[in-house]
Amino acid sequence: MLNERHMKAPPKLAVLLLVALLGNCASAPDSEKPAVSGQAESDFETLQDMLPGAYSNFAWSQQQEVDAPVTDLRIRRLITSGEPVFLFEQELRGQDVYVYDLYWLKRNHRAQRAELYFTRLSKDELPLPMQDTLASAWQRVLPGCVMPIERVGERFEARTDPATCVFENPLQGRTRLLRSLSIGAETLTVRNQVEGPGGRPTGAGGVLVLKKHQVFVGWASIRIEARTEQGEPGEWQLSQVFRTRDDGRVNHLYDQSMTAMDFGLQLARLQRFEGEADYYRLSVINLENGQTQAYQWFEPGSGVLDVNFDWFQAHLEPAGPEDTQP
| Co-location of 186 and 292 in the same domain | no
| Co-location of 206 and 222 in the same domain | no
All residues at 6 or more sequence positions from 104 whose CB lies less than 8 Å from its CB, including other chains: 83, 84, 85, 116, 117, 118, 138, 141
Residue 208: per-residue pLDDT: 93
CA atoms within 13 A on the CB side of 196: 11
DSSP 323: G
pLDDT bin (cut points 50, 70, 90) of residue 41 is confident
> What does the pLDDT look like over 74-109, one tens digit per residue?
999 998 888 899 999 999 998 888 999 999 999 998
Residue 322: per-residue pLDDT: 52
The closest alpha carbon to 178, from 165, 196, 168, 197, belongs to 165
Q: What is the CATH number of the domain that holds 157?
A: 2.40.128.590
Q: Which of 212, 240, 266 is at the close of a domain?
A: 212
Pairing of strands 215-223, 206-212: unpaired
> What does the pLDDT look like over 234-273, one tens digit per residue?
789 999 999 999 999 999 999 999 999 999 999 999 987 7
Residue 22: per-residue pLDDT: 37
Query: Structural domain of residue 21, as residue ranges?
Result: 12-212
> What does the pLDDT look like over 126-163, one tens digit per residue?
888 888 999 999 999 998 999 999 999 999 999 999 89
| Co-location of 40 and 163 in the same domain | yes
Stretch (H or E) spanning 85? strand 85-92
**CA separation for the pair 105, 41 (Å, rounded):** 12
| Co-location of 198 and 298 in the same domain | no
| Co-location of 45 and 118 in the same domain | yes
| Co-location of 106 and 204 in the same domain | yes
| Co-location of 152 and 84 in the same domain | yes
**CA separation for the pair 145, 293 (Å, rounded):** 49
Tell me whether residue 173 is in a domain. Answer: yes
Q: Which of 189, 212, 235 is at the close of a domain?
A: 212
Average confidence score pLDDT of the chain: 84
Torsion, Cα 193 197 202 206, to 10 degrees, reads 0
Q: Averaged over 20-35, what is the pLDDT?
A: 43
The C-alpha R_g of the chain, in whole angstroms, comes to: 23
Q: What are phi and psi of 292, to 5 degrees?
A: -80, 120
Tell me whether residue 7 is in a domain. Answer: no
Q: Is 70 left (phi over 0), alpha (psi -120 to 50) or beta?
A: beta
The sign of the dihedral angle between the CA atoms of 116, 122, 124, 127 is positive
pLDDT > 80? residue 21: no
Q: What percent of the chain is predicted at pLDDT more than 90?
A: 58
Tell me whether residue 6 is in a domain. Answer: no
pLDDT > 90? residue 291: yes
| Co-location of 189 and 235 in the same domain | no
**CA separation for the pair 279, 277 (Å, rounded):** 7
> What does the pLDDT look like over 201-219, one tens digit per residue?
776 678 999 999 999 999 9
Q: State the maximum Cα–Cα separation within the chain, in Å, rounded to a whole number.
A: 83
Residue 5: per-residue pLDDT: 38
Residue 42: per-residue pLDDT: 87
Q: Which of 191, 212, 233 is at the close of a domain?
A: 212
**CA separation for the pair 242, 216 (Å, rounded):** 8
Q: Averaged over 176-203, what is the pLDDT?
A: 87
Residue 288: per-residue pLDDT: 94
Number of domains in the chain: 2
**Cα–Cα–Cα angle for 307, 313, 317, nearest 5°?**
55
| Co-location of 278 and 131 in the same domain | no
> Coil, strand or helix: which one is 223?
strand
Alpha carbon distances (Å) from 235 to 53, 128, 221, 225, 238: 39, 52, 10, 5, 10
| Co-location of 180 and 228 in the same domain | no
| Co-location of 186 and 235 in the same domain | no
Q: Averaged over 22-38, what is the pLDDT?
A: 47
Tell me whether residue 76 is in a domain. Answer: yes
> What does the pLDDT look like over 49-75, one tens digit per residue?
999 999 999 998 988 877 888 999 999
DSSP codes, 252-305: EEEBTT--EEEEEEEEEEE-SSTTSPPEEEEEEEETTTTEEEEEEEE-TT--SE
pLDDT bin (cut points 50, 70, 90) of residue 3 is very low
| Co-location of 137 and 80 in the same domain | yes
Residue 204: per-residue pLDDT: 63
